[in-house]
Amino acid sequence: MQKDAEGFYTPAPAKEDASESKTDKKDEKPGPSDNSDLISSTFEVTVTLADQQADVNSPLYSAKTFEELGLHQDLLKGIYEMGFSKPSKIQERALPLLLSNPPANMIGQSQSGTGKTAAFVLTMLSRIDYTNNTTQAICLAPSRELARQIMTVVNSMGKYTQVQTEYAIKDNLPRSATRITAHIVVGTPGTMTDLMRRKVIDVSGIKVFVLDEADNMLDQDGLGDQTLRVKNLLPRNQVQIVLFSATFPDHVRAFASKFAPNANKIELQKEELSVDNIRQFYMDCRDEEHKYDILISLYTLLTIGQSIIFCQRRDTADRISQRMTAEGHKVASLHGAKDAVDRDKIIDNFREGREKVLITTNVIARGIDILQVNMVVNYDLPLMSERGAGPSENSPPDIETYIHRIGRTGRFGRKGISINFVHDRKTWLQMEQIEQATGKKIMRIETNDLDEMEEKMKKALK
């Protein structure tokens, strides 16, 4: 049994696979493109981004260009086609260390939505010998949704290379698959272990091992055991280990340093953990039922852009979404008990804007990058799991999960709002602990003044 990202124990995953690959070399000289799809921003957002990338204190700032980071022309073309014009701080600082020879391990920390994915994806793509059809880089993430998202980035950035890719996520490869030859395999740890053990993945040529959301992947209360199993199956002394996350709590930091020995480290101070462009609010609800009423009264605001509502438990997510649907609201729900096909469909619908409100659990608290999400609601505050069981109402708040949850909005300099529901003294104190730990003020919004609420929120998003 293993614990998944939501903190539930589940049977070890089975197999899978799917793939995407790239081709088509073109010869034009790469350069920043004018009409970005990925940034797909209004003029206003583009101007704000440019301002922030020029502000020395912003995590989006860089003194350098992508050309100066020593990337191959083929990768520059992919990057510019994605609409990136300048590196962010973490990209500027991490990439030269990641690409230097001999390869050195890396423990990299940077706030949510500041471009860590590009740093590790470009490392994998840079280290591959494309004449050799064997697996050379693997990347693990805590959820299938995040693994799929990372793969999209690999294939976009690698569009002008010959990269071949494969998934190691549940129900993707047929059980009969005997050998993967893809250069890069991205997946979740249970399935990756299974494919390695059955020698479907030949580990002998692996040069890069990336853990996204590394603190979660290494946590003994999370996916730590499984991640260690993958590492133990890799050849010794030839693999560059690359760990990235927005958070590295103290109890994981020491283990991370052992897991990735002699690593270059890029660290954040406690007060830098969450970005300033996410405005945080709370609403004082009378009781559980009042939380539901307030959510309903927020519905119009939730659908101005897109919103994610986080619950602690799967059954709460199901219950709220069924009730809202029955009352005529359009919402989707996603959690780890749904089957793989449904999960993919639900997140894709949300990503493409066909659904505007997603009710979910911690399964997508980390990494998911959907630029249009401008509101996150903590219907239940995230709480620490007790060893061997889920959280109880007396558990302390889970600060890291809180930071990741609210980081689903406010991506790469955009504005976002988070709203916490508190409904009794315990939850109020838990929220206060979060406020202290993150050093960021959480402002009250009256629950009985919808106009004030709307005005405050619209102002926060301006």
Ligand X SMILES: Nc1ncnc2c1ncn2[C@@H]1O[C@H](COP(=O)(O)OP(=O)(O)OP(=O)(O)O)[C@@H](O)[C@H]1O
Compare residues 116 and 183 and give the one whose CB is closer to ligand X.
Answer: 116
Q: Does 114 bind ligand X (CB under 6 A)?
A: yes
> Residue 416, interface with ligand X (CB under 6 A)?
no
Q: Label residue 303 exposed, middle or buried (CB < 10 Å: 0-12, 13-18, 19+).
A: middle
Judged by CB under 6 A, which stretch of 114-122, 195-203, 291-299, 432-440 contacts ligand X?
A: 114-122
Say how far apart CA 38 and CA 51 lie, in whole Å.
18
Query: In the complex, what is the shortest distance from the CB of residue 369 to ligand X, in angstroms, rounded to a whole number?
Result: 4
Q: Which of 13, 30, 115, 222 binds ligand X (CB under 6 A)?
A: 115
Give, as one character, the DSSP assignment of residue 385: P
DSSP one-letter code for 164: B
Cα 454 to the center of its chain, rounded Å: 29
Q: What are the start-end ranges of the H helices in 40-110?
A: 43-54, 73-81, 89-99
Q: Is 207 a residue that touches ligand X (CB under 6 A)?
A: no
> What part of residues 418-447 is at the interface with ligand X (CB under 6 A)?
none
**Shortest distance (Å) from residue 110 CB to ligand X:** 6
% helix / strand / coil in the chain, to the nearest 5?
40, 15, 45
Strands 373-378 and 357-360: unpaired
Residue 425 C-beta: closest distance to ligand X, Å? 32
Tell me if residue 399 falls in helix, strand or coil.
Answer: helix
Minimum CB distance to ligand X, residue 334 (Å): 17
CA geometry: angle 68, 74, 75, nearest 5 deg: 55
For residue 66, give every residue at least 6 positions away whose Cβ sits within 8 Å of its Cβ, in sequence order, or none: 76, 79, 80, 84, 86, 87
- The DSSP letter of residue 13 is P
Q: Is 88 in the site for ligand X (CB under 6 A)?
A: yes
Q: Count of residues for the chain? A: 462
For residues 145-184, which are near ligand X according to CB under 6 A?
Answer: none
Q: How far is the CB of 37 from ligand X (least distance, A)?
A: 10
* Among 87-95, 100-108, 257-265, 294-302, the segment contacting ligand X (CB under 6 A): 87-95
Least Å from the CB of residue 407 to ligand X: 5
Shortest distance in whole angstroms from residue 167 CB to ligand X: 18
The residue from 97, 98, 107, 118 that contacts ligand X (CB under 6 A) is: 118
Q: Does 410 bind ligand X (CB under 6 A)?
A: no
Look at residues 306, 448, 275 and name the one whose alpha carbon lies nearest to residue 375: 306
Query: 231-270 mask for ligand X (x: CB under 6 A)?
Result: ---------------x------------------------
Task: Quote the CA–CA distance of 43 and 393 in Å, as a whole number.
Answer: 45
**Minimum CB distance to ligand X smaller for 414 or for 456:** 414
| Residues near ligand X (CB under 6 A), total | 22
Which of 84, 167, 209, 421 lies at the binding interface for ligand X (CB under 6 A)?
84
Does residue number 112 form part of the binding site for ligand X (CB under 6 A)? yes
| 407 lines the binding site for ligand X (CB under 6 A) | yes
| Of 197-205, 339-347, 406-414, 445-453: span binding ligand X (CB under 6 A) | 406-414
**Cβ proximity of 414 and 52 under 8 Å:** no
**8 Å CB contact between 310 and 361:** yes
For the CB of residue 330, give the shortest distance to ligand X in the complex, in Å: 25
Q: CB under 8 Å to 189, separation ≥6 — which residues?
A: 140, 217, 223, 226, 227, 229, 230
Out of 14, 38, 50, 234, the residue judged to bind ligand X by CB under 6 A: 38
The reply on whether position 22 binds ligand X by CB under 6 A is no
Contact region with ligand X (CB under 6 A), list: 116-124, 194-202, 321-329, 421-429: 116-124
**What residues numbered 343-382 form the site for ligand X, per CB under 6 A?**
367, 369, 371
> Considering the rule CB under 6 A, would residue 113 count as an interface residue with ligand X?
yes
- 39-42 long-range contacts (CB < 8 A, ≥24 apart) are 39/83, 39/84, 39/371, 39/412, 40/83, 40/371
In the block, tokens 């390869």 appear at 103
**Cα 252 from Cα 245, distance rounded (Å):** 11
The enclosing H or E element of 347 equals helix 340-351
What does the alpha-carbon distance between residue 259 and residue 240 come to, in Å, rounded to a whole number? Answer: 11
Instruction: Report whether the peptide linkage leading into residue 189 is cis, meaning its omega lies within 30 degrees of zero.
Output: no
Identify any residues that bridge with 12 across adjacent strands, giving them in sequence order. Answer: none
Among 79-87, 132-140, 188-196, 217-225, the segment contacting ligand X (CB under 6 A): 79-87
Q: By C-beta, is 195 or 370 nearer to ligand X? A: 370
Q: Which of 209, 350, 412, 421 binds ligand X (CB under 6 A)?
A: 412
Backbone Cα Rg of the chain: 21
| Of the candidate residues 170, 411, 423, 456, the single one contacting ligand X (CB under 6 A) | 411
Minimum separation from the CB atom of position 41 to ligand X (A): 10
Contacting positions for ligand X (CB under 6 A): 38-39, 84, 86-88, 91, 110, 112-118, 246, 367, 369, 371, 407, 411-412
